[in-house]
Amino acid sequence: VQKPANPWEFYINTCLDDRLQPAVRHLFCSIRSAHLFHNGSVMLGELHNYGTLLNAVNIYRTLSDKVMPQPLILYFTVCILHTVEQLHSVHVIHADIKPDNFMLGERFLENKCFDSDSVDHGLVLIDLGQSVDMQLFPEGTAFTARCLTSGFQCTEMLSGKPWTYQTDYFGIAGTVYCMLFGTYMQVTNEGGVWKTNGVFRR
């Protein structure tokens, strides 16, 4: 249920239905139907009932190590990169990549081992309501608008430079950072070099 209504999310969903190969369609939320009203919308889709990556990060924060094991972070990172690569290949920018927008479903628990070529890892990218369909713009188009959530503005937005797919790469970096450190990434510009607020282990 969304308030206000967001028919754009349903439009992007139908674009993915049309453009993605069936073998990778399950990497993204799939909306079976949308019911649009003046004050909101109801969208029916598959239930992913094991929470989000952010939930997983927060669970690990309560344990002795405080952060997710690095092999698991590497696994999720490969899965995330592959998922976003599929999205970009059909000319869609997600524009809101963060740990809360990756869901875990049954497929994740059924996955027995890591296979970098497998798309059965069970991670699902959701919330396509901010997405940009690059097929609607002339080739070479770039944007100068800034997203409203300050912590998720890519460095191009922060420095007033045009951007396209960079916002998704920044979102991936922020998601991986969150898994590594258990907190959201913040960046600062020091002498023309963008740096994060975390100190990486050797």
Looking at the annotation, which residues are catalytic?
96
Look at residue 37 and give its three-state secondary structure. Answer: strand
Cβ(43)–Cβ(2) under 8 Å?
A: yes
Give the Cβ contact number of residue 64 at 10 Å: 5
**Cα angle value 90/142/18 (rounded, 5°):** 15
Residue type, 86: Q
The candidate with the shortest Cα–Cα distance to 28, out of 18, 16, 44, is 16
SS3 for 82-122 is: HHHHHHHHCCEECCCCCHHHEEECHHHHHCCCCCCCCCCCC
